[in-house]
Amino acid sequence: MAFLHNRVSNEEMKKRLYAETEARTTISFYQYFPIADPRAFRDELYAALDALKVFGRIYVAQEGINAQISVPASNFEALKAYLYSIEALHGLRLNVAVDDDGKSFWILKIKVRDKIVADGIEDPGFDMANRGKYVNAEEFNQLTDDPDTIVIDMRNHYEFEVGHFQNAIEIPSDTFRDQLPMAADMMQHAKDKNIIMYCTGGIRCEKASAYMLHQGFKKVYHLEGGIIHYANNVKAKGLPNKFKGKNFVFDDRLGERISDEIIAHCHQCGKPADTHVNCVNEGCHLLFIQCEECKTKYEGCCSTACQEVIHLPEAEQEQLRKGVVKDRNVFNKSKSRLRPRLNEIDKGAV
């Protein structure tokens, strides 16, 4: 089968999205299962989802599928029926977004990867079939009332910063592959305790639970469907909500509110804030937290230096952008991983 992909520009697709009148539903799902030919599976999936006007980002690998998508509301049941027609995906849990404006994605991208979650695990004895026990929202609340339970957040530092569960332990690393051995090392003293791992939608903590069992831990659990499924269940069943703040998401929304608490602070003035933005200087694009006042003051930029850049002629801006690598350009105050020009921000701004 020929490699299928979208032939319309991102800009045009985004215009089409905002011109749509029908509401969209944002969904995430994943499944660990063997795929013999990921590229053929990818092309079949693309053809089916494109016909349903699905937008989003999907990764396919020999170990399974990981997806964050949006679908027109009228096509939701058709999408569900198609996914359930695939034997390994029958009965698949679809995590519907908690706080959804329907504008999360504007293009469909399905990529073949070595793994759906980069984990750095090379031990041939590691087996995803031996994973921790699922806990639902009610079980999570009950277990976390026990002082012998340890809750571990398997997300990145910037996700943890804007929202997390009460008393959750952050694994201070920038990548999931580094977090796995770090989590095992940090928990060596707690091999007899209940350990619950969680993440956004369940995919990282499920693999993390299998890794912890592989490392000799005994009572390992992971939160079914992650924060998204937990939040939906808490709301539907009237359960106490133990998650505080906002759930960071990897789409245009950059976050969905789970509780009213604002536990983070503006990276420029220090006031309570939990809105992630990207610096509007295309040569920087730093992901950071900015309050409305600083957004106005700095015109959406992370620094006065970037603010100066956006007022230069476009040709000069393009010249400055040449050779700039923006991958993982994320504010991390604890490690001072700031671009040099951030140090030029007005004194006291950070």
81 and 32 fall within a common domain = yes
User: Over the chain, what is the mean pLDDT?
Assistant: 88
59: domain CATH number is 3.30.70.100
Alpha carbon distance 101, 314 (integer Å): 32
Q: Does residue 153 sit within a domain? A: yes
Beta strands (DSSP E) in the chain are 24-32, 55-61, 64-72, 95-96, 108-112, 133-135, 149-153, 163-165, 169-170, 194-198, 220-223, 243-247, 256-257, 276-278, 287-289
In angstroms, the first-to-last Cα distance of the chain is 53
Share of the chain above pLDDT 90, in %: 72
Q: Are 103 and 23 in contact (CB under 8 A)?
A: no
100 and 153 fall within a common domain = no
DSSP 106: S
Task: Calculate mean pLDDT across residues 267-288.
Answer: 94
Tokens of 322: 């040449």
85 and 44 fall within a common domain = yes
Domain boundary among 78, 112, 146: 112
Q: Does residue 243 sit within a domain? A: no
pLDDT in tens, 292-337: 999 999 999 999 999 999 999 999 988 888 866 655 577 765 444 3
Q: Are 273 and 263 in contact (CB under 8 A)?
A: no
pLDDT in tens, 82-140: 999 999 999 999 999 887 777 778 899 999 999 999 899 989 899 898 999 999 999 99
Q: Does residue 22 sit within a domain? A: yes
Task: Calculate mean pLDDT across residues 68-94.
Answer: 96
Per-residue confidence at 345, pLDDT binned at 50, 70, 90? very low
Specify the higher pLDDT residue, 208 or 318: 208
Per-residue confidence at 264, pLDDT binned at 50, 70, 90? very high
* Residue 66 identity (one-letter amino acid): N
pLDDT score at 336: 40
101 and 139 fall within a common domain = no
Residue among 110, 99, 105 nearest 16 (CA): 105
98 and 139 fall within a common domain = no
106 and 141 fall within a common domain = no
Q: Are 194 and 148 in contact (CB under 8 A)?
A: yes
Residue 240 to residues 13, 147, 222, 232: CA-CA distances in angstroms? 40, 18, 19, 12
pLDDT in tens, 217-252: 999 999 999 999 999 999 999 999 999 999 998 888
Strands 163-165 and 169-170: unpaired
Domain boundary among 237, 259, 291: 237
Q: Are 278 and 285 in contact (CB under 8 A)?
A: yes
166 and 217 fall within a common domain = yes
Q: Does residue 322 sit within a domain? A: yes
Most confident of 20-29, 40-49, 333-342: 40-49
54 and 104 fall within a common domain = yes
**Dihedral-angle region of residue 254 (phi above 0 means left; psi in -120 to 50 means alpha; beta otherwise):** left
**Dihedral-angle region of residue 299 (phi above 0 means left; psi in -120 to 50 means alpha; beta otherwise):** left
302 and 335 fall within a common domain = yes
Q: Are 196 and 151 in contact (CB under 8 A)?
A: yes
**Domain encompassing residue 318:** 276-344
Total domains in the chain come to: 3
Residue among 284, 319, 320 nearest 299 (CA): 284
216 and 140 fall within a common domain = yes
* Residue 212 identity (one-letter amino acid): M
Tokens of 70: 């949006």
Whether 199 is a known active-site residue: answer yes
Q: Does residue 2 sit within a domain? A: no
Q: Pick the range with the lowest mean pLDDT from 13-17, 131-135, 141-145.
A: 13-17
- Indicate the helix (H) or strand (E) that contains 159: helix 157-162
Tokens of 293: 């006042």
Q: Does residue 188 sit within a domain? A: yes
Residue among 260, 290, 287, 286 nearest 275 (CA): 290
CA angle 104/108/110 to nearest 5° reads 120
Q: Does residue 117 sit within a domain? A: no
214 and 144 fall within a common domain = yes
Q: Does residue 35 sit within a domain? A: yes
151: domain CATH number is 3.40.250.10
107 and 142 fall within a common domain = no
